[in-house]
Amino acid sequence: MRDIPYLSQSLRPCCNGESMEFCNTALLIQLALQFFNIGFGTCIILGSTFGMGKKLVYFEELMASFCTAMLCFCLGQLFYVVTSVLVRLLITITLVRLAVDNLHWGILFAATVLSIVAGTIFFFFAISRCTPVAYYWNRNYGRGPLLEH
């Protein structure tokens, strides 16, 4: 239900004619943001259904639920990283419309680059946390190096 306002907002008419290029970019980013936000919410709901957040004692007899909960947690992290970077990009696009000076553009550009770089680093760190990647949610099926967090 919380994604309905996002959907109705994305279907609104676009901006005025002078900032059409920013508006088209913003709408595309907003549609991608909705996709990743719905994926993040779905992973949270499915993960909590399968026991994400419970103590390991809960999973002693439910190892399949543990694997599914950890898979949802791993995918939820990836969706969260992409969602947060896209939200920052949308905020930057909104502020670029209000920027008056070249200094403001430079600061917004630097903040955008820093956000994308930090999001990319965290995304690849989340993926390469385990070797092989599937060991993160299938720890009972073999051994693999796991980076502690």
Q: Is 146 part of any domain?
A: no
pLDDT of residue 72: 85
Q: How many domains does the chain have?
A: 1
The type of residue at 112 is: T
Kindly report the backbone phi and psi dihedral angles of residue 83, in degrees, each rounded to the nearest multiple of 5, phi listed first: -60, -45
Residue 149 lies inside a defined structural domain of this protein: no
pLDDT value, residue 22: 57
Domain contains 93: yes
Tens of pLDDT along 84-94?
Answer: 999 999 888 88
> What confidence tens digit (pLDDT) does each residue in 116-148 have?
999 999 888 888 776 666 666 666 555 555 555
Whether 147 is in a domain gets the answer no
63 contacts: CB under 8 Å, gap ≥ 6: 140
Q: State whether the Cα torsion 83-87-93-99 is positive or negative.
A: negative
Question: What length does the chain have?
Answer: 149
The per-residue pLDDT for 148 is 54
Would 43 be classed as within a structural domain?
yes
pLDDT tens-digit series, residues 7-18: 445 545 455 444
End-to-end CA distance of the chain: 33
- Report the share of the chain in percent with pLDDT over 90: 23
Q: Is residue 110 included in any domain, yes or no?
A: yes
pTM for the predicted model, two decimal places: 0.73
Identify whether 60 is part of a domain.
yes
Position 148 in a domain: no
Per the structure, the complete domain to which residue 12 belongs is given by 4-141
For the segment 66-91, the average pLDDT, to the nearest whole number, is: 88
What Å distances lie between residue 82 and 6, 44, 76, CA to CA? 17, 15, 10
Predicted local confidence at residue 60, as pLDDT: 75
Per-range mean pLDDT, top range of 24-28, 75-79, 95-99? 75-79
pLDDT value of position 24: 79
* pLDDT band of 58, cuts 50, 70, 90: confident
**Alpha helices, DSSP H, located in the chain:** 4-10, 20-49, 63-98, 102-127
The rounded distance, in Å, linking the Cα atoms of 94 and 99 is 9
